[in-house]
Structure 1
């Protein structure tokens, strides 16, 4: 185990590509470079609020018990072995080209090499101004930082590909934020998250270089990305093979989001990982009541571009933007053909995933009709998604009437069913039980499959809201409880959190709807 303050960090990204070494923090365009050197802006007082001991163990990082390591987590110290920088990238935001964006409040300190020989980028979010902060201050508030820290780790334990979070610190400084962009700005407690990932490269890194016609830099970035993160890809068609694998990883990620009911909230191309990871946790939410049209992001209204049910199609659209960025380097028809594999990849993976959620031994063509019936019924009845699938695990093998079925699933319902809805649910459950009777695996094996696929604990927004409010009052109990519960989301150990969203949270700011500042 090595201290953050004494490690010999690698600098492969900044060594490989042109950058702006001036350290100038003035917001500006930076053509011709892929990053700008940025020294974090010191804060008043660094206080450790959370430390992911499991991730630290995996990476070989010692606890930040020494003064210098703690100072690093708050941006108050940079070692001689580090080269802190903000990456430059672009993106499509809400369907429109936004031009240069870049790390506006994220600063990568360096690359940490693990005992296995692979490297992880360590990045501070909220550590001050960068040349890409535009009109912002480069800071982050406790509210958004708690959400990022907890959800990064929650997604990991759910088995969803994600960036990670190593630490959360308070800065002792107030940060001015207009939470809903409605003119009601207020000071909030400041905080910084240390994020970790093999890479934070996004679709937007490649889009920027193409938009600026920096073909040599684009080719160099693609070759570097393949050699570093896709080393098994070789040959003359390696760019097409690379893109195909990004398509496959992205399809897998979308299926995993749908499996657990996760809604990202802001699927801009600059928020899409080239490694197929969940990246940039802002106005996200898990589904409470099942609603394909749900978006947690106030900025996404009224169009609901990034609603739960639209996420796979938006991923496909975003991959199209990445394909367009690669056009100077690869054949158009081959790129289009690779892009079109997304649909088959997604639906094949999706139906297989739904089969495991339902405890089926295999998914046949006829089973897809059942899966569609499940989706349609849930969209009509809008039960709590997590609780509904948990109840499905222990469903009695005989349900005699619509009333009996409705009573069994009552724990998951937010509203009393109408007679027609009760009949619709009964029809579904009857068809489902008939299908279970045809399983070639035993009931116990089917249930075990379902328990591994359907989470029992999810990090609901109202729980996050309560934990944040308590932290602002100096209370840590719920925050600590959530840190433990998220590590074991498929067990029954944390049944205190196994309940529907309370009525008070339906319209509560920070529980139902959030903004991009969240």
Structure 2
């Protein structure tokens, strides 16, 4: 199967707890990611029954050592000093074909020492949502955890109402979060905090490792912080480039590796509105679409607070250094947004005009209640085939076509795609034909809850090829009608 290592078990024992999956009644394999498994070193694929046993937790994977990881977190701004994996177990880490460590984790496998009275289970719907959206994000080229397997349990989990149960197997660069550092910091354990920093540097930022690096600890820790900051800016800019709204950007959901972590009430915006909120638990709009950069900066500030505890010097000097580092986030994010905008609009790479032109288009989309994905897909087709027909197709998407027509005049003068194949290719990669539209995800989930997984398989097949302009992609990628529109998404905990 896999060659497991257990690097996390070498960290201080306060940061994890051994655990065992709770067996389920009747595991059944829904889907297995053969290509990902091969990249993780799996040489032979057992039959479906054995796979269901392994990835439900009923049968131990050879070499695995299940453990639940400890972390704290700010949840919607409120600090909770002890959270941890209440329904997930890290089985171990493996090396992929590129030589990178990757965690393999069961999620929904039963109670752990961090369950806090919960059942440790996952409903089928959130499992299918995470599988679909994480694999779609990977296909879009956006850093993300991956889905290796999904299994039904043959049991109901007690939600409102009771729902079919399932387990997902998640693969991540690591499961280190801002909340992991907060867990050690709030307990005043400087040695555990230093061990975490060194582990994170070794695993994700080896160019900063102590060996062969003569920088003082403060300089290395600040360099580590800035590296995490750059990855968060890169990530959030690319979320926003496809209209993705995470929904729960709590510090316990912020990956130190810069991956999209935890797909709870996440969703993709359809009709463009900068303040869109789709999560049912985000009542105040804290994590609205346009608030995501500010929330990334806020979460990074919490990481900086932890790192200051292990830096040398007096308090004022440490605060000044961390504040100066954090103050660079806005410029870093602005650069990443500019790069994304240039690609989406078919402009010169790093074009200084990309951001204002994108802001003008967003204004036209909002005024015209235009579907974001459909707009950019149509804009790409116009770039490929300039002419009145494609222009009319694009204008037909808007309820305020004059505003869009005025914008198109500006774009025509700015774009370079008609004579630059490289930029045209970049424009294609930035503008998918299909995303996991909320109503399609809900259709797939409801059908699966009734025992029909074909809509799930069809949608999965389409979203992992998001740039293929096929009849099926267009069918599944069509914006929701007023009756189909999903206005709220829900968390599975």
- TM-score calculated relative to the size of structure 1: 0.87
User: Structure 1 residues 86, 440: closer, same or farther in 2, change over 3 A?
Assistant: closer
Gaps of 5+ in 2: 312-317
- How many Å separate the matches in 2 of 1:299 and 1:66? 37
Instruction: Say if 2:425 is the partner of 1:448.
Output: yes
Residue 123 of structure 1: aligned partner: 105
Query: Matched residues in 2 for 1:38 and 1:84: separation?
Result: 6
Measured after TM superposition, the shift of residue 228 of structure 1 is 2.3
CA contact (8 A) 1:387 1:411 kept: no
CA gap 1:69/1:422 in 2 versus in 1, 3 angstroms: closer
Q: How many residues align?
A: 475
Q: Distance in 1 between matches of 2:469 and 2:178?
A: 39
Aligned to 1:103: 85
Q: Distance in 1 between matches of 2:277 and 2:478?
A: 21
Assess if the C-alpha contact under 8 Å between 1:158 and 1:489 holds in 2. yes
After TM superposition, the structure 1 = structure 2 runs for residues 319-334 of structure 1, keeping only pairs within 5 Å, are 319-330=300-311, 331-334=318-321
Q: Alpha-carbon deviations, 1:226-247, whole Å to 9, x = none?
A: 1222111133221111111000
Contact residue 107 and residue 123 of structure 1 kept, 8 A: yes
Question: Are 2:453 and 1:476 equivalent residues in the alignment?
Answer: yes
Counterpart contact for 2:4–2:63, Cα < 8 Å: yes
Q: Do the aligned partners of residues 160 and 367 (structure 1) sit closer, same or farther apart at CA in structure 2, a change above 3 Å counting?
A: closer
- Residue 105 of structure 2 aligns to a residue in which SS? strand
* Helix, strand or coil at the partner of 1:122: strand
Deviates more, 1:477-486 or 1:248-257: 477-486
Q: Are the counterparts in 2 of residues 383 and 412 from structure 1 also a CA contact under 8 Å?
A: yes
The aligned residue for residue 325 of structure 2 is: 338
2:479 is matched with which residue: 481, 500, 509?
500
What residue in structure 1 maps to residue 68 of structure 2?
Answer: 86
- Which residue in 1 is equivalent to 2:222? 240
Distance 2:46 2:265 in 1: 30
Contact (CA 8 Å) 1:505, 1:512: kept in 2 or not?
Answer: no
Partner of 2:6: 11
The aligned runs of 1:219-234 (5 Å cut-off) are 219-233=194-208, 234=213
Assess if the C-alpha contact under 8 Å between 2:178 and 2:252 holds in 1: yes
Q: Quick check: 2:3–2:41 contact (8 Å CA) kept in 1?
A: no
If the length of structure 2 is used for normalisation, what is the TM-score? 0.92
Give RMSD over aligned pairs: 2.1
Deviations 1:85-125 (A, max 9, x none): 11110011111212211111111111223455432211111
> What do residues 451-481 of structure 1 show as CA deviations (whole Å, max 9, x unaligned)?
1210111011111111111112222221111
Gaps in structure 1 of 5+ consecutive residues: 19-32, 178-184
CA distance in 1, matches of 2:355, 2:162: 51
Distance 1:8 1:398 in 2: 56
Distance 1:365 1:82 in 2: 50
Match of 1:140? 122
Partner-residue secondary structure (3-state), 1:299 = coil
Residues 426-441 of structure 1: matches in 2 within 5 Å? Answer: 426-436=405-415, 439=416
Q: How far has the Cα of 1:53 moved from its partner?
A: 1.2
